[in-house]
Structure 1
Amino acid sequence: MAASKITAKIFRRKYLSYDSMSTPLRRCLTMFDLTVLGISNMISSGIYVLSGVVAKEKAGPAVILSYLFAGLAMFLSCICYAEFGARVPKAGSAFTFTYLTLGEICAFVVGWDAILERMLSAAASAKGWSTMMDGMFNNAVENYTIDNIGTIDVTGFSHYIDLVAFGVTILGIVFISVGVKILTNANIAITVVNVISLIIVIVVGFMAGSVRNWTVNSPGGFLPFGVHGIFAGTASLFYTFVGFESVTNAAEEASDPVRQIPKAILIALLFTGLMYVGASMSLTLMIPYNLIDLGSPFPSALRYIGYQWAVYVVSIGAVVGISTSIVLDQYGLARNVYAMSSDGLLFSVFAWVHPKARTPIIASLTFGIIVAILAMLLKYSTLIEFLSIGTLISFTTVSACVLVTRYLDPEGSSDISKRPLSETSTILDSGYGVTTAIQHVQPELKKYYQKFPFLVRHSGAHIIYIVIVLIVFFTMMGMFATDINYHNRGYCYFVLVFCTIGLLCSVFILQMYEQRNRPPSFTVPFVPYIPVASIVANTTLLTQLPGLAWLRYFLWLILGLAIYFVYGVRHSLLNEEDSEEKVMKTTYSSTDLTEKTLCEEKDSGSESPASVRRFD
């Protein structure tokens, strides 16, 4: 009995009520603001620093393919985010989506991962900014610090205390505390400078570069690290696209999130993907991959071909671009912490919003200082490897959430008042209003499959969850077998064929069931294929990350779960909604509101307004 109560408590789901669109944050961002927010947060250290690291150490000139594969995997995840961003325009991104779909403990893990992701992303950007700036002055700061303070000889740590990275992170805290509109206006101007400088560098590389640097001048040719190097590079470069999450994190500050967020996400991703591919081609055309300077890849490549004036152009673009990323990563971090604290899962002090600036200032200050310390002490490569795990797990979970909502949540009813009160509760729909949602219901088999007794006999809901787990399992098993038994080709092929058959069977099982919930706004097309492809792509990339990164992640996860079971589970706002009387009161209120509005529309003959739009 006690175990069942605990299970019910940690897997309880959140429902958004009629007033869920109300927020202490200021709704002032346009679609253009959101698109630029996504672009500026993606075009940062990921292109100016990480492209050189991946090209030199993991993929060679095939870094171009790594960017393409990373962009494709991210596109699949972006579509899933876009649907949830339109349906649930609240701060918190993947955390909020998972809370509504899979339950509290799953949401906490995803939210905890998102905090890790944003902290490390901001720290990596600060580290990249410091490296870039110091490189422009012949490493004067690094040399001064080593001479006067000394070095650090610990695995995973920077070899010196990076005070520049610490300082620029502190400046970022100041910027995100002044208010989102001021931040956005400055961001637009900076992004324009960043994009123009990058376009100039791409053009110069195409004009002055040589294809010989992909073949003759490149040790090992175009694929010096083989196919494995491409996927290893893809796993690292995946981080460069995560900036699109800043769009969904800004949902509570968007003026029309339902229409703006899906478009802003997809436009930002497409534009950034084209810039990444063009820039990586330009870099590897200008200089052989083995000669790239890891600290400043583009300036070193431009010096190599004798374009000194372009060095200053790319340096300006890099400095302003990475500066923006530092600020926006901390912006997203503060919103993630704010969302979890508002739900009672983290300490409530982090949910405090400054009455004038209307920003979560305590969350910004506290976690900003942690970011500054990480940037000051850890190596860039350590930050990137650690970062990718949390990101990929969050994206995999959101893709699974799309499958769950499509097969286990109900269709909208044309007459809500006829639903049994015990089955209904309120949830925000894409029209900002009230609709009804049944607790996860049994998925309905398609008519053809209903004649098979063994299918009808088993719980469809359990089958859906089992299938999602099997998809992840078969993917990881296949990729691990490929890595471990690379030289035992017979065994490797057998495992890959077995896993492929398992994946196809899993998708076939999903196809046996009717899809229930299709929101009237943006919808992921080709379900279940796109969400399954996203899960497979993200899981494949997870298998490419080193074991040490996994160890660090599990330590972070243990810390988070300790906080959840000691504090979060007892202070969750859902504790206040557990009584049946309160749930029924909410249900009566929402049903009465809908009935009243529908009657008024019938009398006036007008179209249903957005405030009572339902899933049909």
Structure 2
Amino acid sequence: MSQLFRRKSVEGLLQNNGEKKKITKTLGAMDLTLMGIGAVIGTGVLVLTGLVAARDAGPAVILSFILAAIVCGFAALCYAEFASTIPVSGSAYAYTYITIGEFVAHLMGWTLLSVYVLTTSAVAGGWSAYLGGFLEGFGIYLPDKLMNIPSNGGLINLPAVVIILFITWLLSKGTKESKRVNNMMVAVKIGVILLFLVVGVFYVKPENWTPFMPFGVEGVLAGASAVFFAFLGFDALSTSAEEVKNPQRDLPIGIITSLAVCTVIYVAVCLVMTGMVSYTELNVPEAMAYVLHAVGHDAIAGIVAAGAIIGIMAVIFAYIYATTRVFYSMARDGLLPKAFASINPKTEAPTMTTWLSGVIAAFVAGFIDLKDLANLANIGALLTFAMVGLSVIILRKSHPSLKRGFRVPLVPFLPIVSIGTCVFLMINLPSSTWLYFSIWILLGVVVYFGYSKKHSVLVPKVQEEERKRA
């Protein structure tokens, strides 16, 4: 039983940074902030804003976003402390490995893999919808069979598959080269959102905000659970720790700044969008373009759609990137086959895991419904956020003198609040989501006992300690 909770030492994790085959440090605070904005601002603001307003919260969708942002804010503080203290790849996986133990760490890594892959696939589905609408503006109609998943009457969502494989190819060329393209995509995305706000604000009719809360408090809470998906992304920054030039300073800046900027953008877009048309009209996947068409700005709507097509690519970029770094960390620790930790000497990137992550995400995007993907990503992310909060409390007690570039205030109060709010939002998710997620966790347990437990890098150390005691 004790083997399930064997832990890696802080020194052991930090020591991995000195390995010969390490990933090159190329990222600064601005790169991280842009990567965070690129990961967060995407399907959430471009797709979920309208759908959640129409189905769950009405104009009060802004409260749903604010509530979700508060929950993420508590978690972001915990991530910032860990990322500045233990700058190694792996995110919640690495943090739970040194505080709770190997078995829980394995399940956190397993959960993160599902969160990042599912988010990549869901975002690609949103990208496909914008592409279809954009092309239709030029009289180009892609076959429905190649634009829809089987459950919606199609064969495959081909554009979603193609864009994921393209971004995978880009990432396989290495972080240094691909980050320039990512920064450009983020700039385009922010530009079209600002264009939407500047044009749309002149068409806001306050009467469209009445009734403000048509579905009551329950609708706001349901909306918060749904739009939580829109904030996933800042946590992916902590998986890049080994590639950051000055992680103790730059990671907290990147995590907190990107979350704050994204929250302001979400609230502004929701206010303008629900003010331009009635919330009952927003049950469409390309809501920003739709409301511009509704007020007669077809040209601006086309520009926004084009910008969305480019901008959502940055989200796919961030999540495939994060997936590969979790694969890399788990394989390096022996919990997955060592081949997943191999680094391409030419690109200085984990090429094999990059392609593995991309191919799996492309398959899921081609055949699975976006809403189901979002809910599964939500429950996994909420669980990992809660575990990071718990890990902060444990590390403060076990390593009180450890050098921390950033410290969460009011420990243990704020981490406990973070844990409680995450659990609260998890409870508001559908029972089917809990069922599918339980199956995934069960599969992770099988992998651990079937492979990981025997191949862990900690096995020789534990055996040596047992020989000494004998």
TM-score (norm 2): 0.94
Query: Following TM superposition, by how much is the alpha carbon of 1:316 offset from its aligned partner in structure 2, in angstroms?
Result: 2.2
User: Identity across aligned pairs (percent)?
Assistant: 32
Aligned to 1:12: 6
Aligned to 1:372: 362
- Amino acid in the other structure paired with 2:390: A
Query: Following TM superposition, by how much is the alpha carbon of 1:583 offset from its aligned partner in structure 2, in angstroms?
Result: 11
Aligned to 2:445: 561
Does the 8 Å CA contact 2:89/2:240 hold for their aligned counterparts?
A: yes
1:90 to 68, 88, 91: 88
Aligned to 2:270: 280
Does the 8 Å CA contact 2:293/2:301 hold for their aligned counterparts?
A: yes
Name the CA distance, whole Å, in 2 between partners of 1:168 and 1:66: 30
Aligned to 1:608: none
> Aligned pair 1:138/2:136, yes or no?
yes
Name the CA distance, whole Å, in 2 between partners of 1:356 and 1:328: 21
Query: Following TM superposition, by how much is the alpha carbon of 1:559 offset from its aligned partner in structure 2, in angstroms?
Result: 1.0
Alignment of 1:484-495 (within 5 A): none
Name the CA distance, whole Å, in 2 between partners of 1:411 and 1:83: 13
- Partner SS state of residue 355, structure 1: coil
- Partner SS state of residue 19, structure 1: helix
Does the 8 Å CA contact 2:79/2:388 hold for their aligned counterparts?
A: yes
Name the CA distance, whole Å, in 2 between partners of 1:200 and 1:149: 28
> Aligned pair 1:173/2:57, yes or no?
no
Name the CA distance, whole Å, in 2 between partners of 1:160 and 1:277: 37
Name the CA distance, whole Å, in 2 between partners of 1:227 and 1:581: 56
- Amino acid in the other structure paired with 1:86: S
Q: Does the C-alpha gap of structure 1 residues 382 and 117 become closer, same or farther in structure 2, counting only changes over 3 Å? A: same
> Aligned pair 1:163/2:158, yes or no?
yes
Does the 8 Å CA contact 2:147/2:157 hold for their aligned counterparts?
A: no
Name the CA distance, whole Å, in 2 between partners of 1:294 and 1:142: 18
Q: Deviations over 1:43-98 (max 9, x none)?
A: 11111011111111111111111110011110000000000001110001110001
Name the CA distance, whole Å, in 2 between partners of 1:170 and 1:550: 30
Query: Following TM superposition, by how much is the alpha carbon of 1:406 offset from its aligned partner in structure 2, in angstroms?
Result: 2.2
Q: CA RMSD in A?
A: 2.0
Name the CA distance, whole Å, in 2 between partners of 1:329 and 1:172: 10
Q: Deviations over 1:140-164 (max 9, x none)?
A: 8886243x899734xxx77541111
Q: Which has the higher helix share?
A: 2
Q: Does the C-alpha gap of structure 1 residues 175 and 293 become closer, same or farther in structure 2, counting only changes over 3 Å? A: same
Alignment of 1:314-329 (within 5 A): 314-329=304-319
- Partner SS state of residue 232, structure 2: helix
> Aligned pair 1:113/2:108, yes or no?
no
> Aligned pair 1:552/2:436, yes or no?
yes
Does the 8 Å CA contact 1:82/1:261 hold for their aligned counterparts?
A: yes
> Aligned pair 1:290/2:285, yes or no?
no
Name the CA distance, whole Å, in 2 between partners of 1:189 and 1:536: 38
Name the CA distance, whole Å, in 2 between partners of 1:361 and 1:203: 42
> Aligned pair 1:21/2:17, yes or no?
yes
Query: Following TM superposition, by how much is the alpha carbon of 1:246 offset from its aligned partner in structure 2, in angstroms?
Result: 2.4
Q: Does the C-alpha gap of structure 1 residues 162 and 313 become closer, same or farther in structure 2, counting only changes over 3 Å? A: same
- Amino acid in the other structure paired with 1:570: K
Query: Following TM superposition, by how much is the alpha carbon of 1:562 offset from its aligned partner in structure 2, in angstroms?
Result: 0.5
1:202 to 182, 197, 200: 197
Name the CA distance, whole Å, in 1 between partners of 2:378 and 2:274: 24
Name the CA distance, whole Å, in 2 between partners of 1:98 and 1:151: 37
Name the CA distance, whole Å, in 2 between partners of 1:348 and 1:331: 19
Structure whose alpha-carbon radius of gyration is higher: 1
- Partner SS state of residue 405, structure 1: helix
The size of the alignment, in residue pairs, is 463
- Amino acid in the other structure paired with 2:162: G
Name the CA distance, whole Å, in 2 between partners of 1:158 and 1:177: 34
Does the 8 Å CA contact 1:142/1:162 hold for their aligned counterparts?
A: no
5+ unaligned residues in a row in structure 2: which ranges?
A: none
Q: Does the C-alpha gap of structure 1 residues 230 and 81 become closer, same or farther in structure 2, counting only changes over 3 Å? A: same
Aligned to 1:389: 379
Aligned to 2:240: 250
Q: Deviations over 1:105-137 (max 9, x none)?
A: 111111111000000110011101001111223
Name the CA distance, whole Å, in 2 between partners of 1:76 and 1:250: 20
Aligned to 2:417: 533
Q: Does the C-alpha gap of structure 1 residues 58 and 410 become closer, same or farther in structure 2, counting only changes over 3 Å? A: same
Q: Deviations over 1:266-315 (max 9, x none)?
A: 11111111011111111111111111251211111011111222202211
Aligned to 1:44: 42
Name the CA distance, whole Å, in 1 between partners of 2:230 and 2:223: 11
- Partner SS state of residue 15, structure 2: coil
Aligned to 1:103: 101
> Aligned pair 1:264/2:254, yes or no?
yes
Does the 8 Å CA contact 1:28/1:254 hold for their aligned counterparts?
A: yes
- Partner SS state of residue 224, structure 1: coil
